[in-house]
Structure 1
Amino acid sequence: MFSIGPKVGVRHLQSMLIFSGFCVAFMQRANLSVAIVAMMDRNSTNPDFPEYDWSEQTKSLIQSSYFWGYVLMQIPGGQLTQRFGGKLMLLFSVGIGGIITIFTPFGAQLGDWQFICALRFLQGFCQAALYPSTHTLIARWAPPAERGILVTLCFSGMTFGTVIIMSISGILATSQYGWPSIFYVSGGCGIIWSFVWLLWGGESPRQSKLITPKERNYIESALAAVSKSANNTTPAKLPTPWLSIFTSLPFWVLFITHCAYNWGYYILLTQIPSYIKNVFDKDIQSNALISALPYTANLVLGLCFCVLGQVLLSKKVLSTNASRKIFNTISMWIPMAATIPLGFVDANSSDMAVILLTLAVGINSAALMGFFVNYIELSPNFAATLQGITNFGATLMSIIGPLVVGVVVTDTTDPNQWRIIFYTMVFSYFIGNLLFVTLGSTKVQPWNEPMKRNANRVQQTGE
């Protein structure tokens, strides 16, 4: 029987630090999507900051360059995290990303769009370890009973950062410092965060100088009850069981679920604004308040789901397995249900389309209490590797999705062509969650402790 820890402790401080790290990282990731509008504004009257005459093709190339570096480093990023630890790799992701961000305006002056593409590629390359490092840290800091709430707290930072940069970018771009200030602010925040993380961030409770013995014993005993090697052996000393991972049904279910989620989520975020603009003649991207609505709903509802899930688990209304599958169903099948009428909304009801989009994106956040936690549950020791592999496939989905839209939707004002895209989203969400509910698992897999597994095999065979 493990001890009872403090209700608020250093584990929550670590989660808040990771939250702010994600916030800053996504400010760095999303800043260009807003800044590029000011960079290409031919009507600007401010001669102090250059404007660039880029084509739409060049603009798309600049905006996608981040993701090519990001996807290339996904699996290696998981392995590097396993080798060097979550603290160092998270520091590297946010800190180096901040330096690159600050240098972006100078890069534009030095080498035009080609240099910006190179910088964004490097930024994506560096930030590929964001998710693997966070899963590694949570696996060592979050007691099983608190994983849902701490995971949600950490990953809510990505939505909060997006809302912040979208809210302030317009003000920064029109200030006396011009559009470069968007990069200076988001990059500077990354460097400041890096110093705070160096001082207060901890790889594990055992390596933290801030934690009390009572809280450390609480965390370690709770983790040991699930995985014997969780605190005694560092993942760097464990050989990655590649064959066991790639022949594991729960892993492949998680992989498909993550890919299905990304397909629907990123089409919603990147393409539906275009659908509403062209079909309903309502440009929601020109309205800062409406543009931020889906992200704000995602953040608020994510925190609500977090509290609800934790209450249900603490009062033992739901088991961990039931909780993960119920919240994952909410995150994928309710947006699926909202997407179907979105393709049939009357052209005079643009407000209804915006409401459905906001509802779909907002409720997607329930996934933070669903499959997002599953990496740690399947394998605390190899959560970074699992996350790197699945995020590789999921990132490809977020890249391929807009390309498919470009092929299918040849006339952006034709709602019938858009319905085909909506049908792919419905199919993706339905199949992804169906597999997770029927075949997914929340049990620690035998290959989480390969040394122990091999020792048992030797003992049984007498070799």
Structure 2
Amino acid sequence: MKFICCGNKGSMPVNDNGIPMDTKKETEAGEPKYGLGVRHWQTFLYFFALTVAYAQRVNLSVAVVAMTDAAAANINFPEYDWPEKTKSLLLSSFFWGYVITQVPSGQLARKFGGKITLLTGLSICSVLNILTPLFADWGGWQLVCALRVVEGLCQGVVFPSIHTLISTWVPPNERPVLGTCAYTGNQFGTIVMLATSGLLASSSAGWPSIFYISGGVGCVWSVFFFIWGASSPAEYKRISPEERKMIELAQASESTSEHPKEKLHTPWLSFFTSPAFLALIIAHSANNWGFWTLLTEIPSYMKNVLGKDIKSNALLSALPYFAMFCMSFVFSAIATLLNKRNCISTVVSRKLFNSLGLWVPMCALIGLAYVDADQSNLAVILLTVTVGFNGACYLGFQINHIDLSPNFAGILMGITNCVGNIMSIIAPLLVGFIVTNEQDVEQWRIVFFIAAAIYLVGNGLFIIFGRASVQPWNDPPAKHRRNSTPQVESQH
């Protein structure tokens, strides 16, 4: 597989919307090279979709600290007496709804287009975020818990929709780079929310502003995506004919089926009997366990073990995700260089970067387990290494769904994200049961050991069974009707 990082020098034509149009150039080898185009604009919109999604997903992680300890933020706003188990319940409740809509949304995105499902889910979730302070005042933690479940239902469409859109909009040789660019929105949203939420909570606007701002920005994104988003190049009227042809020819080269994607019969049995896909499920689940254990619990760990106040807590909590954001581009550049020089195959590249994304954090977590409470600087460094290197997974399991099956990438992502986010439910709940004394380093050590062990097993199985080639079940035969004549069957 060959990676191409496209750029453009000097001025370039723009379309009627002011978006740069794709221009075709010739490389030294005589191969066509394409500059910035509508597909890059779509990737930019996906980046901000994930920024909004993750900001709304993690805002409660820091907000709950201020909501349960007004003295640490602003005493002029309501304080709720929620014990640690209740807080863990709230932090995990988002994923109860999130896992339910994963697989159905993959099917819906494939049938109706990723734009409709993504826009619907995020716009509703944005409105619900704005209503969170009101719900907390009306019904306490029970109503907030119910609200988070509904938000999870809405956000369950995000990854299957974006995977479907990327497989439709981005040519195979550009997917590692543009896919990484889109998915770094996860970290950007996390960074912005964790870095600013502590300041917002202690400001005159108080902790409710955390939800008002994240929800408001989501509403603004929804307007932009409604106007400029599209499910495919064919639906985007102002795309240049050259770029559309290039994308559609690249998509056609991956499929041997004569039927449109929407008409293909979904090979469910083949999915679950494929060792490559089962290994992908396990790798995704392992990543989610460690990632969400840290994401939901770092604020509490910073406050209770390292003794950081709400403001420094928020900034230091954001530091690991800033490192992940930066490292994602570093790993993408390394992958591009390796593949341009034909140093490694696609499957070796996927396994190499997945190993960097899971096994380096595994070692850092083991080290973190033995850091004393008074070694706060070392703990922050190890947390930063743990989360920062996890960015390599975007070039590992995260893009592997499209490698295995471009036709069913959204459905595969829905399945793995559904199973993986069951881990996201269990992980915070398990922390709530293990960490009964938030200042006990020994109890946190158990949490870190469990995450390290899961990283070890998950990536080990991905190395053994993982694949990066299009699987035979990517092009299943069309579903025949009963009692049809051979002539009619050939038409379906």
TM-score computed with the length of structure 2 as normaliser: 0.84
**Percent pairwise identity:** 49
Matched to 2:42, the amino acid is Q
Q: Which moved more, 1:366-375 or 1:425-434?
A: 425-434
| Cα distance per residue 1:269-308 (max 9 Å; x no partner) | 3345655665x54337651332211111111111211222
Matches within 5 A, 1:60-139: 60-139=88-167
Kept in 2, the 8 Å contact 1:375–1:383? The answer is yes
Q: How far, CA to CA, are the matches of 1:178 and 1:285 in structure 2?
A: 12
Which amino acid in the other structure matches residue 154 of structure 2?
C
Contact preservation (8 Å) 1:5, 1:219: no
CA distance in 1, matches of 2:75, 2:438: 34
Q: Distance in 1 between matches of 2:222 and 2:389?
A: 32
Q: Tell me which residue corresponds to 2:375.
A: 349
Return 292-301 or 205-214, whichever deviates more: 205-214
Aligned to 1:392: 418
**Is 1:448 equivalent to 2:474 in the alignment?**
yes
- CA drift of 1:233 comes to 4.6
Structure 2 counterpart of 1:239: 265
Distance 1:396 1:257 in 2: 13
Q: For the Cα contact (< 8 Å) 1:269–1:361, is it kept in 2?
A: no
For 1:74, the aligned partner's letter is: Q
| SS of aligned partner of 1:451 | coil
Output the CA distance in 2 between the equivalents of 1:145 and 1:389.
Answer: 25
Distance 1:17 1:421 in 2: 36
Does 2:153 correspond to 1:140?
Answer: no
Summarize the Cα distance change of 1:171–1:408 in structure 2 as closer, same or farther, 3 Å threshold. Answer: closer
Counterpart of 1:21 (choices 49, 54, 65) is: 49
Which of 362, 365, 370 is the matching residue for 1:336?
362
Report how far residue 180 of structure 1 moved. Answer: 2.6
Which residue type is aligned with residue 237 of structure 2? K
Counterpart in the other structure of 1:35: 63
Partner of 1:450, secondary structure, is coil
- Could you say if the C-alpha distance between residues 415 and 173 of structure 1 is closer, same or farther in structure 2, counting changes exceeding 3 Å? closer
Q: How does 1:260-339 map to 2 (within 5 A)?
A: 260-271=286-297, 274=300, 281-283=306-308, 287=312, 288-339=314-365
* Structure 2: segments with no counterpart, 5+ residues: 1-29, 481-485
User: How many angstroms apart in 2 are the aligned matches of 1:316 and 1:225?
Assistant: 21
> Contact 1:206–1:216 (CA<8 Å) still a contact in 2?
yes
d(CA) in 2 for partners of 1:257, 1:385: 17
Deviation at 1:369, TM superposition (A): 0.7
For structure 1, list consecutive stretches of 5 or more residues without a partner in the other structure.
none
Compute the displacement of 1:79 (Å). Answer: 2.3
CA distance in 2, matches of 1:218, 1:267: 42
Aligned to 1:256: 282
User: How far has the Cα of 1:315 moved from its partner?
Assistant: 3.5
After superposition, the C-alpha distances for 1:308-353 in whole angstroms (9 at most, x for unaligned) are 2123223333322221111111111111122222222355433112
Letter in 2 for 1:98: S
- Which amino acid is the alignment partner of residue 449 of structure 1? D
- Does the Cα contact within 8 Å between 1:4 and 1:218 map onto a contact in 2? no
Change (3 A) 1:40 1:418: closer
Q: Secondary structure at the match of 2:116?
A: helix
Asked if the contact 2:369–2:449 (Cα under 8 Å) also holds between the matched residues in 1, the reply is no
Does 2:213 match 1:208? no
1:7 to 12, 35, 39: 35
- How many Å separate the matches in 2 of 1:235 and 1:376? 14
Deviation of 1:103 (Å): 2.1
* Number of equivalenced pairs: 453
Deviations 1:189-222 (A, max 9, x none): 1111111111211211222123211111222222
The residue type paired with residue 159 of structure 1 is Q
CA deviations on 1:389-424 (whole Å, 9 max, x unpaired) are 111111111221233334445555555554443333
Aligned to 1:421: 447
Bigger CA drift: 288-297 or 14-23?
288-297
Shift of 1:366: 0.3
Q: Quick check: 200-209 or 148-157, which moved more?
A: 200-209
Could you tell me which of 424, 430, 435 is aligned with 2:456?
Answer: 430
RMSD: 2.8
Matched ranges for 1:400-419 at <5 A: 400-409=426-435, 415-419=441-445
The answer to which structure has the higher helix fraction is: 1
Which one-letter code corresponds to 1:283 in the other structure?
K
Give the whole-Å Cα distance in 2 for the aligned partners of 1:120 and 1:251. Answer: 30
* Counterpart residue identity of residue 188, structure 1: G
Give the Cα–Cα distance (whole angstroms) in 2 for the partners of residues 274 and 176 of structure 1: 23
1:378 equivalent in alignment to 2:404: yes
Per-residue CA deviations over 1:22-72 (Å, capped at 9, x if unaligned) read 11111211222233333334447665x544344444433333321211122
1:327 counterpart SS class? helix
2:242 partner amino acid: K
2:246 aligned partner: 218
Contact preservation (8 Å) 2:302, 2:317: no
Give, in whole Å, the separation in 2 of the partners of 1:435 and 1:447: 21
- 2:92 touches 2:424 (CA, 8 Å); kept in 1? no
User: Are residue 190 (structure 1) and residue 215 (structure 2) matched?
Assistant: no
- Which shifted more, 336-345 or 253-262? 336-345
Alpha-carbon separation, structure 2, partners of 1:429 and 1:359 = 15
Q: TM-score, normalised by structure 1?
A: 0.89
Cα separation, partners in 2 of 1:402 and 1:234, compared to 1, 3 Å: same
